[in-house]
Amino acid sequence: MVAVTTNTRDEAAATARFSKLCAEKGLLKRQGWKDGDIHDGFTDQHTLLRFLQANNMDPSQALEQLQQAIDFHTKNGALALYDLIDVEDYEDTRRLYPTWTGRRDTHGRPLLMIDSGALSKEQITHWRATREIPSARQDGINSRYTSNMAQRALVWFDGLTRFVLPFCAAVLHLLKAVYIVDVASISLKQAWDVRDFAKELSWLLATCYPETIDRILVCNAPSYFATIWKILKGFIDPKTAEKLVMVTSGETYSMLSETIDHESIPRNFGGGFAYETGMLPDLDDELRQAMTWTSPRGQLPDGPIKWTKDATGAIKAIATGTVEGVERADEVGVLQLNHGNGVQ
């Protein structure tokens, strides 16, 4: 959907060579696509470039990582599950993982939020229990697909690469996100409790979604956060750790306001955005105007959303997942092809 933008001609040439290598290895063919599905986040040129960048442009290492990511997706049936996941399970996941706020920074990068306060002992216990659920299956009793946490997490972050990043890139040529972590309430005990959660989240992002993170702003860091970081650092992928920027409570608003408009900074950081953990995205005006809405204007529904292209070339946002065992394919809106840059 979005044309790849590279920094140099060398990157463009390297991506073309890598794409050919992937095709020869059969890695560009995936089972489970539906007619009209747009392949952003899987086999598009920008995704291949991200895998190259994550491996210092080494095609053999990038190929190995891409194969690992494909194997993990295939093992968990993630591509088919994107259309079949129970919407309640998807929304349950929203309370655990970084969530797109619907806003962007002044460079157009989507802003994702996670509040350490939401990762309570009860939520982490629930996360661990959900990891043990067998792989998604159709339950004959209540006609509902059940999915474990690995599957839910894959569908969740596929939503970033299949919907959020292409949506933002249709307005501006930027395909990375900024993560904002509120650690105001984190304690030493909580840091220890979430260590395996942090490890799995870091592995998933680094392995399956390389180079989707621009920066991770760790905000409202308490004075003792250096001690907490010593605990967590060993569980986080080194390349991900390099993207972390620690910001004290006294510096948070001034740091965020350098690249984020006041109206898109959450109120708990001193801004004007009424953000709450787990809320649905609240789109900024430019993104609202980038679509002709079928659903209420500017309101994204719960559950996963994907982009499709119909026979006329119209690019549509479609809400997927199942509700009470019934698969949905509800049109959310049509992207305006002449609105921004980069839409093919």
pLDDT reported for residue 86:
93
Tell me the per-residue pLDDT of 212-251, one tens digit each, with 9 for 90 and over.
999 999 999 999 999 999 889 888 989 899 999 999 999 9
pLDDT of residue 295: 84
Residue 293: both structure tokens together: 């809405």
Closest CA to 219 of 262, 256, 193: 256
Measured CA angle at 36 (ends 103, 50), to 5 deg: 50
pLDDT band at 339 (very low <50, low <70, confident <90, very high): very low
Residue % of the chain over a pLDDT of 70: 92
Q: Is the dihedral of CA 14, 15, 20, 25 positive or negative?
A: positive
pLDDT of residue 308: 97
Mean pLDDT of the region 195-208:
94
Q: Which of 254, 263, 131, 251 is nearest to 200 (CA)?
A: 131
Residue 31 pLDDT class (50, 70, 90 cuts): confident
138 has pLDDT over 80:
no
| pLDDT confidence bin for 298, thresholds 50/70/90 | confident
pLDDT at 137 over 60: no
Of 128-132, 143-147, 262-266, highest mean pLDDT? 262-266
**For residues 52-59, average pLDDT:** 94
Q: What is the pLDDT of residue 172?
A: 76
Q: How far apart are CA 180 and CA 218, in angstroms?
A: 6
Query: Is 130 exposed, middle or buried, given 0-12, 13-18 or 19+ CB atoms closer than 10 A?
Result: buried
Mean pLDDT of the chain: 90
pLDDT category of residue 136 using cuts at 50, 70 and 90: low
CA angle 240, 246, 252 (to 5 degrees): 130
Q: Which CATH superfamily is domain 9-335 in?
A: CRAL-TRIO lipid binding domain (3.40.525.10)
- CA 153-66-93 angle, 5° bins: 5
Helix axes 9-24, 59-75, angle to 10 degrees: 50
Where would I find the beta strands (DSSP E) of the chain? 99-104, 110-115, 137-139, 144-146, 177-182, 213-221, 244-248, 291-293, 305-309, 315-319, 322-323, 326-327, 330-335
Q: Give residue 340's pLDDT.
A: 44
Residue type at position 318: I
pLDDT over threshold 90, residue 341:
no
Contact call for residues 164 and 89 (beta carbons, < 8 A) = no
Mean pLDDT of 44-54: 93
Q: What confidence score (pLDDT) does residue 144 get?
A: 57
Position 8 pLDDT exceeds 70: yes
- Whether 177 and 109 have beta carbons less than 8 Å apart is answered as yes
Q: Read off the pLDDT of residues 96-122 as tens digits, 9 standing for 90 and up.
A: 999 999 999 999 999 999 999 999 999
Of residues 178 and 339, more confidence is placed in 178
With a cut of 80, say whether residue 325 has pLDDT above it.
yes
pTM of structure = 0.90
What separation, in Å, do the N-terminal and C-terminal C-alpha atoms of the chain show?
Answer: 5
Domain positions in the chain: 9-335
State yes or no: pLDDT of 209 exceeds 80: yes
pLDDT at position 142 is 47
For residue 285, what pLDDT is reported?
93
- For residue 61, pLDDT over 70 is answered with yes
